[in-house]
Structure 1
Amino acid sequence: MTATLFPSARARLELPKPTFRFTRDRSGMLWSAASLVLVLAVWQLASVLIGDDESGMRLVPSITDVVSSYMVFADYWPGGLGAERTVSGAEPTIWGATLGMVYNVAISLSRFTVGFLLGAAVGVGAGLLVSWSPIARCTVSFPAHFLRMMPLLAMLPLFGLWFGSSELGTYMFTAFAVAVLLFVLTVAAVNNVPRIYSDSATSLGASRGRIYLSVVVPSITPNLKVGILLAVPFAWSAVLAAEVIGKQYGLGRILNFALLYAATDIVAVTALVVVIVAGCTHLLLSKVLNHLTRWVD
C-alpha cells in the first residue's frame, strides 16, 4: 500500500526537472528592436518625403546626416589630449569630436546634478514643512502656488539678470524648476495619507512628531519616489535652457547655435545625446531610489 502511494527513491530521482523559459523576456527584446527599426524607417522616410526648404536646408535630417554631424562636437573641445582646437585652425577628428561630446556632457551633467539635488532638498523640505506647520502653510503656500504658475521659460531672463552668466544662475534656475514641482507633489502626497493612520498612532500614544516621522513620511515615500523621477526631465529642460545664457560650453549651448543657423542635423545629433544621457540619469536614479526604498515592497 505504501509503495503505491509514494514513489521509490529511483523514481523520484528520475522525475523531470523544471525548465525555465525566457520567452517573455526574449519577445520583449524582439518587440523593442522591431519598434526601433520602425522608428528609424519612419524617420528616414520622412526625411525623403519632406525634403529641403527654399535655402536648401533639409527640414528633417536623414540618418546619414545625423551620423556625419557628430563631428561638430570637435568644435566645442577646448583642446588637449591629442586633439587641438578647431577654432585655431585644426582639422576636426573623430577623437576630438568624442572628447568634445564627453566634455560637454560632463559639464551639463554637473549642472544637472547640483541643481537637481538642491531643488529636491528645497522642494521636499518646504512641502513637509508646510504640511507640518500651520504657520508655514499660511506663509509659504500662496507664494509657492503663485511661483508654480509662472512659465518656466519666462523666468529665465530674470535669472539671467539676477545672476548673469555665472554657474550659480544655472544651478538656481534648475533648482527652481525642480523645487516648484516637488513642493506641489509633496504637499499633495501628505494630504492623501489616510487619516486613519495618524488616528491609530494617536490611540497608541504616539506624539505628533513621532506620527509625522514614523507614519506620514513613510506613507508618502512611494508617491515621492515617482515625483522625484518625474522631476528628472524638468531638470534637464531647465539645464538646457539655462545654458543658452552666457555659457561657452554645454549641450544647451550647442543646441542654441544649431537652432540659430537652422542646422537640423546638429540639432538631431545633440538631442539624441541629450536623450541618451537623460535616460541613463533616470535609470540610475531609479535604481538608487529602489534600493533606498526597498523596505516599501
Structure 2
Amino acid sequence: MKNDLTRLLWALKGGAIINFGLLALTYSLASDSVDPAVVWPARIFFAVSAYRCLFPNRYVGNVVLHDSILSSTLVTRILATFSEVVYIYLFAYVIWTLNINQVGWVDGFATWMVVQVVISQGCVWWAILRSEPRYFYYEELGWWLIFALNALASVYLYSTAELPSNQALLLQLNLVFATGYLPWQVIHLWTLWKEARSAAGETQAQAPRDLKSGFRAALFERQPTTSADAWGGWVGIVWMTSYWALLIPLWIGLIVDILGEARGR
C-alpha cells in the first residue's frame, strides 16, 4: 500500500451518499406498519455513518483528515457510542425475532451481545480519556465476542427453525460475515496489541492522564494527516470502508427491508 491515503480518504466520502440514500429509504416505509424497534436504530446508524465518512477520525493519535472540531475524537466518539449500541441492538433484534421457538440460551446470547457492546463502549472511552491504548484492544476483543455469539446463535437457528427465505437470508449473512470477520479481527487485535505495547513502552514512566485533560485532548488535539501508518494501514482502510460506507450500512438496510414492517414475534 502507498504511504499516502489522500485519495482513499476522500473517496470514503462517497459512503455518505450511500448512507443518506439508505436513511431516505427508511422514510418510504408505510408509517402505520413500521416497526420502530428496527427503523429508528437504523436511522441513527445511517446518520452517524454518513457523518463519519465526511469527517473521518482515528482515535489512536487523534488522527483526522480535516483539522476541524467536527472531526475531533470527542465529537466522533459521542456519535459513535450511540451508533454502535443501536447497530448491535439491531443484530440482536434479528436473533430475538427469528428465535421463533423461544430457545432460552439463544435469547441470552442476543442479550449478551447488547451488554457486551456497552462494555466495549466503556473500554474505548477509557482508552481515549485516560490515554491507555490497551483498552482499545479490550474493546475490539469485545467485538470479536459479539460476532462469535451472533454466529453461534445463527448456526442454531438456521439449522433448526423453519423460516421464510428472506429471514433465513439474514442468518446466512451472519454466518458468511463471521467466516470472514472473526479471523480478520484476530489480525486487527494483533495490530492493536502491538500498538498498545509500543505505546506502553514509550509512556512507562508516565501516569495515565486525568479525565479533565482527556476530555480536553479529545476535543482539541488533532493530527491532520493522510499517512497510511497513522490511519492503521490496509487494516484501517478496510475497517473504515466496510463499517461506515459499504458492508454494515447495506446489511442494516437489508434488515430494515426484511423486518422493518414486521412487529417482532
User: Same-fold call, TM > 0.5?
Assistant: no
- TM-score by length of structure 1 reads 0.27
Structure ID, larger Rg: 1
- TM-score by length of structure 2 reads 0.29
